[in-house]
Amino acid sequence: MTTRRPSEYYRRCREKTVRRQGTFASRKQERATYYFRFVHGWRLVKCVACNGSGYYDDTGSPRCSSCAGTGKERLSPGDYQQRKDAGLI
């Protein structure tokens, strides 16, 4: 009985997967970098355009496009501090 060899396509896919995974330490470093860049210190504050209601006014208007109808804006630490210093928060 002959052994079956993997196809060229399967071999390339496997190489990409192994290359992409990397080591645990490198993936951990990527997760930490992402967290400190996009999550840590960011704040949710009341939307300025709709005043936190999610709609422009109360008479059947569409959802606020500034905050996508959530009533909250996500601010980076620098933007938050600027608004706080200006007295907007």
pLDDT in tens, 52-83: 999 988 788 899 998 999 999 999 888 999 98
How does DSSP classify residue 22?
-
Contact 77, 41 (CB under 8 A): yes
Q: What is the structure's pLDDT at 5?
A: 65
Predicted TM-score (pTM) above 0.85:
no
Over the stretch 34-44, which tens digit does the pLDDT of each residue have? 999 888 999 99
- Residue with the bigger pLDDT between 65 and 2: it is 65
Query: Is-contact 52 72, C-beta < 8 A?
Result: yes
What amino acid is encoded at 45 in this protein?
A: V
| Enclosing H/E stretch for 72 | strand 72-75
- Token pair belonging to 37: 């860049």
Per-residue confidence (pLDDT) for residue 85, from 0 to 100: 93
pLDDT at position 4:
61
